[in-house]
A and B are shown apart, each in its own frame.
Chain A
Amino acid sequence: MIYSKAVMDHFYNPRNVGSIENADGVGEVGNAKCGDIMKMYLKIENEIITEVKFNTFGCGAAIATSSMATEMIKGKSIEEALKLTNRAVAEALDGLPSAKMHCSVLAEEAVKSAIADYYRKNGQEPPPMARLAECCCHACEQSAEN
């Protein structure tokens, strides 16, 4: 198997799947052309993430990293959640194949995108840490060239 046991566990039994109605923050990253889309929903009370759900279209690693990222930010403050790195998600899953590292980037971005949305909903400018990196997938680069 190309994936670790932890990846397979989170793929077969993904945690926090679903959506939240009237979520305080919603983020969607990736695109179907590249083969990965993550959508993350946050419920935030007093700057604490009390509930988090996700929906993902993508490979095994995309689903597992989404699941792991939701577990890692649940119950955390916004400040802590913004510190979540793709590397930390990958490490928590006992590593990812190098071709799949972009999935962990997407998971980090999904969290940031949902938090940025929370700030905007409250009429505030998202902090710099919630800014997204450029999409790293090959298909986007190709379509940008064309």
Chain B
Amino acid sequence: MFAYVDNAATTPVGKAALESMTECLQQVYGNPSSIHSQGQEAAQLMGKARETVGNCLGARPEEIYFTSGGTEADNWAIKTAALLGARKNKKHLISTAFEHHAVLHSLRLWEKQGYSLTLLNVHGDGLVRPEELASAIREDTALVSVMYANNEIGTVQPVAEIGTICRERGVLFHTDAVQAVGHLPIDAQEQKIDLLSLSAHKFHGPKGVGALYCRKGIPLDIFMEGGAQERGKRAGTENIPGIAGMAAALKEACANMTEDNKKVSALRDKLIQAMTRIPRSRLNGHPTRRLPGIANFCFSGIEGEGLLLHLDQHGICASSGSACTSGSLDPSHVLLAIGLPHEEAHGSLRISLSALNTEAEVEHIIAMLPGLIEKLRSMSPVWQKIRQNEGS
């Protein structure tokens, strides 16, 4: 049996997205900047896509800027806030220790430019405490950037509370919502979000396209110099097929959200129940305040990669954390941020589900995992020590 359960890394392109992209590639090939009918058809299609994306976020179409993905949107949002802050001599940035590297590394870059950076504690449950944020905000705070939902452990932050605090204190609030868009209901206006990043391939759209929401009134920085695309803020001919695919995928995800979430969270809970029965296992992150699709576990005495290779041999495609860090030997910065020791953090497994996963697939995982963990533990000197200590 084959089971793709790495949907937090990326999702397969959905039917709606594929159809709209194919149609676009074959028929709407014009450049939206061209004045002729073929070009205007592309411009119209892009306008509709902007409306669709805006609708799904509780935003106006003119507040949506298309990007090459979540990473670009994160970089852009942080750059905008940092430069705006500098104009008012505000050079303090607030974020969390377990942000995606697109945010963390961007913030570090500004830190090198003389900004000060405060990283909020995300505690053992992977949640920011709004009162801690409130006391971290200073007179010179330019930006608060807190991810909507964590990509490795799936915890969902109290975004509306964070937004309210930031608005009251006059600080810009950015949220990296890459894992949340299309999976959780979002209302940028109601939740008082100023800047929001999203990526199409996390909700069955294509790779290489995303968007930045920038609340009306915030002067967005110019990200790319050149032509007048994206209201002069991001030059370069637009990725029309990608944008069309993203809009179609998001529209579908938002329309089916309630139904899909019910199904996916039931599968997730079934998995959590079974995995936490394995001796010396733990579920990482808050037990209930989490995304419908993400479950992250640690199994003492084993290392994550070995488990992934065994799972792959049994047709199960999972992850041991963020795919972006798999080239690194360091354990997940997310798991370290929630207080796990290095040796535990090495033994993590992330299973991320989508509505395309079935009960049979989850049962296959539940059937295979305990034996594979046992196999790795049986040859692990770390596990032997744990057992000896338990016995003594």
Contact = CB atoms under 8 A, between A and B. Distances in A.
A138 B330 contact: yes
B379 A138 contact: no
Given A35-B331, A138-B329, A62 B381 contact: no
Interface residues of A, number: 29
A60 B305 contact: yes
Interface in B240-298: none
Contacts, number: 69
A114 to B, nearest CB: 13
Contact of A139 (B306, B327, B342, B382): B342
A62 B343 CA distance: 15
A5 to B, nearest CB: 13
A126 interface: no
A58 B329 contact: no
B303 A59 contact: yes
Contacts of B343: 32-33, 35
Interface in B310-330: 310, 313, 327-330
B379 A59 contact: no
Interface stretch (A9-17, A73-81, A86-94): A9-17
Interface in A41-65: 54-60, 62-63
A34 B345 CA distance: 10
A55 B384 contact: yes
A14 B379 contact: yes
B244 to A, nearest CB: 34
A59 B329 CA distance: 10
Contacts of A32: 342-343, 346, 382
Contacts of B327: 99
A57 B303 contact: yes
A111 interface: no
B313, B342, B346, B379 interface centre (most CB from chain A within 10 Å): B379
A60 B306 contact: yes
Given A56-B380, A57-B380, A63-B379, A35 B306 contact: no
Contacts of A139: 329-330, 342
Nearest to A33: B342
Nearest to A97: B327
B302 interface: yes
B214 to A, nearest CB: 38
A102 B302 CA distance: 18
B309 interface: yes
A97 B216 CA distance: 48
Nearest to B345: A35
B379 A55 contact: yes
A71 B71 CA distance: 46
A103 B269 CA distance: 37
Contacts of A38: 381
Nearest to A66: B379
9 contacts: A32-B342, A32-B346, A35-B303, A39-B381, A55-B379, A55-B381, A57-B302, A58-B306, A137-B329
A107 interface: no
A58 B305 CA distance: 8
Given A32-B343, A35-B329, A57-B301, A11 B382 contact: no
A34, A55, A56, A57 interface centre (most CB from chain B within 10 Å): A57
The 5 closest A-B pairs by CB, nearest first: A32-B343, A59-B305, A33-B342, A57-B382, A35-B346
Interface in B355-379: 378-379
A59 B310 CA distance: 11
Contacts of A99: 327-329
B317 to A, nearest CB: 12
Nearest to A37: B381
A28 interface: yes
Interface in B28-67: none
Contacts of A37: 380-382
Nearest to B327: A99
Contact of B381 (A14, A33, A57, A102): A57
A62 B303 contact: yes
A36 interface: yes
B79 to A, nearest CB: 29
Contacts of B110: none
